[in-house]
């Protein structure tokens, strides 16, 4: 059992392995049905989403229900935050109703960590600003392991807006704990050289073709325009330098996996031909989101 889940950086490798192993039990069986689990019967999970989300929010809700628990969804616009209530007061109010856990997405990096110090209710980070998105990295690892024997020794290229990506950070922390060779690639303003120092095994490459050559996994990232202060971002030009097209796939290993956390912007960071190709596991990532979040909820709530 763990007290909440705030990030991957401080999560021991054994905990990660335990979550990934348990998630297999929550994947659909051969005929597409699910084994029945009741581990959250009588438990209530509050889903506090103060930034937009489709995949994370829905999969946490399904995960809670599939385990027999109750999920209560709160969004920013429909809550008293829109009437001026502070985040601390909102969280204290929610905690006073004694939910068993709070799943939280917030635009400020570190918001869940700050609140976790003040609340006894376990907090699961569903994405905080540009900092971490731990359950995304866990579901990405589960998706890779469904197709590769192990993570050790793989070469993974993470391409796009690394600077603003919580998905990239959590993936780097996770993959680095398992001896993966990680290449970060994107335009220089979005991939500052100091990112090479955030974890062992990380290198930087600004040439997308070199980054992809010999890769086992290509993870594409969305350009996070909402976190940039660049009104003149060259959207059209971006694809010609850092958009994933069929010709890139031939540079990678023949069994390369193409991943993207979503939402994807077709024609900006990835072509439709690649996103919908046999090499793409984007919808498998979404499917594993439910299984992995079930494993996380079970581990946090016991
Ligand atoms: N990958 C991800 O976090 O997607 P959502 O923003 O739709 O939850």
Average pLDDT over residues 71-77: 92
CA 135 to ligand 1 centroid distance, Å = 10
Which residue from 54, 58, 143, 220 has its CB within 8 A of the most atoms of ligand 1, so it is best to mutate? 54
pLDDT surpasses 70 at 167: yes
Q: Are residues 106 and 174 in the same domain?
A: no
What are the pLDDT digits (tens) for 175-199?
999 999 999 999 999 999 999 999 9
pLDDT surpasses 80 at 89: yes
How far from 203 is each of 98, 156, 171, 172, 266, CA to CA, in Å? 45, 11, 14, 11, 27
Q: Are residues 118 and 153 in the same domain?
A: no
265 part of a folded domain:
yes
CATH of the domain at 225: 3.40.50.1370
Average pLDDT over residues 227-245: 79
Q: Are residues 275 and 296 in the same domain?
A: no
Q: Are residues 96 and 155 in the same domain?
A: no
Residue owning the nearest CA to atom 6 of ligand 1: 53
pLDDT surpasses 90 at 233: no
With beta carbons less than 8 A apart as the criterion, state whether 60 and 287 touch. no
pLDDT > 90 in the chain, percent:
87
pLDDT surpasses 80 at 1: no
248 part of a folded domain:
yes
Strand ordering across the sheet containing 181-185: 202-205, 181-185, 155-159, 217-220, 257-259
Average pLDDT over residues 254-268: 96
CA 57 to ligand 1 centroid distance, Å = 8
What are the pLDDT digits (tens) for 99-126?
999 999 999 999 999 999 989 999 999 9
Domain count, the chain: 2
Q: Are residues 161 and 256 in the same domain?
A: yes
4 part of a folded domain:
no
pLDDT of residue 231: 60
pLDDT of residue 53: 96
> Is the beta carbon of 136 within 6 A of some atom in ligand 1?
yes
196 CB-contact burial (10 Å; exposed 0-12 / middle 13-18 / buried 19+): middle
CA 203 to ligand 1 centroid distance, Å = 26
pLDDT of residue 218: 98
pLDDT surpasses 90 at 134: yes
30 part of a folded domain:
yes
Q: Are residues 56 and 154 in the same domain?
A: no
The three-state (H, E, C) secondary structure of the chain, written as one string: CCCCECCCCCCCHHHHHHHHHHHHHCCCCCCCCCCCCCCCCCCEEEEEECCCCCHHHHHHHHHHHHCCCEEEEEECCCCHHHHCCCHHHHHHHHHHCCCCEEEEEECCCCHHHHHHCCCCCCEEEEEECCCECHHHHHHHHHHHHCCCCCCCCCEEEEECCCCCCHHHHHHHHHHHHCCCEEEEECCHHHCCHHHHHCCCCEEEECCHHHHHCCCCEEEECCCCHHHCCCCCCCHHHHHHHHCECHHHHCCCCCCCEEECCCCCCECCCECHHHHCCCCECHHHHHHHHHHHHHHHHHHHHC
* CA pseudo-torsion sign 264, 265, 267, 272: positive
138 part of a folded domain:
no
pLDDT surpasses 70 at 266: yes
pLDDT surpasses 70 at 265: yes
Atom of ligand 1 nearest to the CA of 133: 3
Q: Are residues 61 and 128 in the same domain?
A: yes
141 part of a folded domain:
no
Rounded distance, CA 11 to CA 134, Å? 10
Q: Are residues 47 and 163 in the same domain?
A: no
Average pLDDT over residues 215-233: 81
Q: Are residues 160 and 202 in the same domain?
A: yes
What range defines the domain where residue 73 resides?
13-132+286-301
223 part of a folded domain:
yes
pLDDT > 70 in the chain, percent:
96
pLDDT of residue 29: 85
Q: Are residues 35 and 100 in the same domain?
A: yes
> Is the beta carbon of 170 within 6 A of some atom in ligand 1?
no
CA 52 to ligand 1 centroid distance, Å = 8
CA 126 to ligand 1 centroid distance, Å = 9
Average pLDDT over residues 225-253: 84
Which residue from 56, 62, 128 has its CB within 8 A of the most atoms of ligand 1, so it is best to mutate? 56
pLDDT of residue 36: 79
52 part of a folded domain:
yes
Q: Are residues 248 and 173 in the same domain?
A: yes
Q: Are residues 109 and 212 in the same domain?
A: no
pLDDT of residue 119: 92
pLDDT of residue 187: 94
What are the pLDDT digits (tens) for 3-56?
899 999 999 999 999 999 999 999 998 888 887 789 999 999 999 999 999 999
* Tokens 């079930």, located at residue: 294
Report the chain's mean pLDDT, rounded to a whole number. Answer: 94
pLDDT higher for 232 or 268? Answer: 268
Which residue from 263, 282, 287 has its CB within 8 A of the most atoms of ligand 1, so it is best to mutate? 263
């Amino acid at each position: 059992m763990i007290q909440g889940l705030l990030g991957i950086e401080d999560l021991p490798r054994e905990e990660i392995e335990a979550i990934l192993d348990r998630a297999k039990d929550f994947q659909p069986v051969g005929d597409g049905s699910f084994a029945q689990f009741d581990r959250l019967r009588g438990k209530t999970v509050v889903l506090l989403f103060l930034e937009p989300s489709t995949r994370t929010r829905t999969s946490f809700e399904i995960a809670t229900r599939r385990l027999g628990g109750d999920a209560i969804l709160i969004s920013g616009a429909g809550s008293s935050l829109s009437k001026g209530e502070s985040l601390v007061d909102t969280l204290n109010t929610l905690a006073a109703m004694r939910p068993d856990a709070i799943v939280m997405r917030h635009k400020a990096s570190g918001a869940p960590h700050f609140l976790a110090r003040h609340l006894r209710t376990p907090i699961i980070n569903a994405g905080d600003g540009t900092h971490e998105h731990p359950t995304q990295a866990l579901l990405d690892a589960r998706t890779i392991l469904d197709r590769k024997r192990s993570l050790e020794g793989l070469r993974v290229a993470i391409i796009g807006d690394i600077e603003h990506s919580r998905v990239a950070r959590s993936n780097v922390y996770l993959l680095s704990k398992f001896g993966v060779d990680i290449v970060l690639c994107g335009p220089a303003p979005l991939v500052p050289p100091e990112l090479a120092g955030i974890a062992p095994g990380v290198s930087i490459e600004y040439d997308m073709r070199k980054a992809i050559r010999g890769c086992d996994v290509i993870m594409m990232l969305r350009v996070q325009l909402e976190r940039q202060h660049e009104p003149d971002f060259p959207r059209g030009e971006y694809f010609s330098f850092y958009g994933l097209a069929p010709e890139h796939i031939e540079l990678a290993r023949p069994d390369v996996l193409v991943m993207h956390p979503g939402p994807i912007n077709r024609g900006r960071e990835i072509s439709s031909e690649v996103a919908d190709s046999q090499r793409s596991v984007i919808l498998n990532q979404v499917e594993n989101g439910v299984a992995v979040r079930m494993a996380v909820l079970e581990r946090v709530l016991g």
